[in-house]
């Protein structure tokens, strides 16, 4: 019997990735192949915003400049079956709205990635990422003092401004230097930096200190290499580790759905009331 720590999402305990800051959970085969195909077909092709190393779309909309979401329902294909399963598992049970209200869809072609960054204070400390199409490695590193506040600006996350391209390059370089310097983890109990290998149809949940204290990114490479039990934190939770027996993951086009609970939500009704109060 797995012993449960306080606040741990009980049903998820068997999926907790060991030796990482609390808490990452990796659930292989979270959705079926049919569900995967169906979601991929429904992602609207006209809503992509192309960034320098990936393309992106936000549902129901991009956040405002002060990180507020104009509340609106998520499209049905993002709700069923995924959010229904989140409710059964209690994924968002600790967040203010108890369910996600915002989804960013990222698409990475072979060789593309995202700079190491933190998701920041606009969201509750739970992110649930469903991977589609192909496997990819998420790289985790600890924030160094010099890397505090490497929060991806909303503009770059949401693709509103081309200025978002600059931090991508800059932060990516910072991380590579850190690795070259044989990065020393402040908390030596944890094996950092490390990688989480995300297979298609899997769910990765990031909560608490894992959300707050680490940077995550994806190398813009054609092949993830040197994959083995000692370099991939979730190796024992993989659905098909044999696929990576040669230590390699040849990248394909991978789409991620990142579900979040935006803390500040304004409704259309609130806007009208606010305007009336000002009069
Ligand atoms: O594609 C992913 O898994 C990561 C995306 C991400 O970090 C983000 O959108 O903030
Ligand atoms: Fe992120």
Pocket of ligand 1 (CB under 6 A): 104, 106, 114, 119, 129, 138, 157, 216, 256, 258
Nearest bound ligand to CA 55? 1
CA atoms within 13 A on the CB side of 233: 26
pLDDT (0 to 100) of residue 79: 98
* Average confidence (pLDDT) over 3-10: 53
The per-residue pLDDT for range 169-214, each reduced to its tens digit, is 222 222 333 333 333 344 456 788 899 999 999 999 999 999 999 9
pLDDT (0 to 100) of residue 278: 60
- b/e sequence 180-200, b meaning 16+ C-beta within 10 Å: eeeeeeeeeebebbbbbbbbb
pLDDT (0 to 100) of residue 149: 57
Q: Kindly indicate the confidence band of residue 144, based on its pLDDT and cuts at 50, 70 and 90.
A: confident
Q: Which of 57, 59, 106 to mutate to test the pocket of ligand 1 (most atoms within 8 A of CB)?
A: 106
Q: Which of 129, 199, 205, 254 to mutate to test the pocket of ligand 1 (most atoms within 8 A of CB)?
A: 129
pLDDT (0 to 100) of residue 192: 86
Q: Which of 256, 259, 262 to mutate to test the pocket of ligand 1 (most atoms within 8 A of CB)?
A: 256
* Average confidence (pLDDT) over 116-145: 95
The dihedral over CA atoms of 188, 202, 227, 144, expressed in degrees to the nearest 10, equals: -30
pLDDT (0 to 100) of residue 268: 72
Atom of ligand 1 nearest to the CA of 56: 9
Which region holds residue 264: left if phi is over 0, alpha if psi is between -120 and 50, else beta? beta
The per-residue pLDDT for range 251-277, each reduced to its tens digit, is 999 999 999 999 999 987 666 666 666
Which residue is closest in CA terms to ligand 1's atom 10?
Answer: 119
Q: Round to whole Å and give the CA distance between 256 and 32.
A: 15
Q: Round to whole Å and give the CA distance between 109 and 255.
A: 9
93: tokens are: 């049970």
The per-residue pLDDT for range 212-239, each reduced to its tens digit, is 999 999 999 999 999 999 999 999 999 9
pLDDT (0 to 100) of residue 267: 86
The per-residue pLDDT for range 17-76, each reduced to its tens digit, is 999 999 999 999 999 999 999 999 999 999 999 998 999 999 999 999 999 999 999 999
Sign of the torsion formed by the C-alpha atoms of 32, 24, 240 and 253: positive
- First-to-last alpha carbon distance for the chain, in angstroms, is 62
Q: What is the ipTM of this complex?
A: 0.99
Which residue is closest in CA terms to ligand 1's atom 3?
Answer: 256
This prediction has a pTM of 0.84
Q: Kindly indicate the confidence band of residue 10, based on its pLDDT and cuts at 50, 70 and 90.
A: confident
């Amino acid at each position: 019997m797995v012993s449960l720590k306080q606040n741990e999402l009980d049903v998820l305990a068997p999926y907790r990735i060991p030796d990482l800051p609390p808490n990452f959970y990796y659930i292989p085969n979270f959705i079926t192949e049919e569900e995967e195909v169906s979601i991929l077909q429904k992602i609207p092709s006209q809503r992509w915003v192309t960034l320098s190393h990936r393309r992106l779309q936000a549902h129901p909309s991009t956040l405002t400049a002060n990180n507020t979401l104009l509340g609106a329902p998520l499209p049905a294909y993002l709700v069923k079956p995924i959010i229904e399963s989140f409710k059964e598992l209690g994924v968002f049970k600790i967040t203010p709205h108890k369910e996600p209200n915002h989804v960013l869809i990222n698409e990475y072609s072979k060789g593309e990635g995202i700079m190491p960054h933190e998701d920041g204070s606009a969201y509750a400390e739970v992110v649930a990422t469903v991977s589609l199409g192909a496997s990819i490695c998420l790289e985790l590193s600890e924030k160094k003092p010099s890397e505090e506040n490497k929060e991806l600006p909303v503009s770059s996350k949401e693709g509103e401004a081309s200025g978002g391209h600059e931090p991508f390059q800059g932060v990516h370089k910072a991380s590579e230097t850190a690795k070259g310097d044989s990065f020393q983890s402040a908390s030596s109990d944890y094996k950092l930096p490390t990688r989480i290998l995300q297979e298609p149809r899997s769910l990765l949940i990031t909560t608490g200190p894992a959300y707050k204290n680490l940077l995550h990114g994806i190398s813009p490479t054609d092949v993830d290499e040197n994959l083995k039990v000692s370099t991939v934190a979730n190796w024992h939770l993989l659905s098909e580790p044999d696929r990576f027996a040669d230590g390699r993951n040849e990248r394909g086009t991978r789409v991620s759905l990142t579900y979040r609970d935006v803390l500040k939500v304004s409704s259309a009704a609130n806007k009208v009331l606010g305007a009336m109060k000002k009069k």
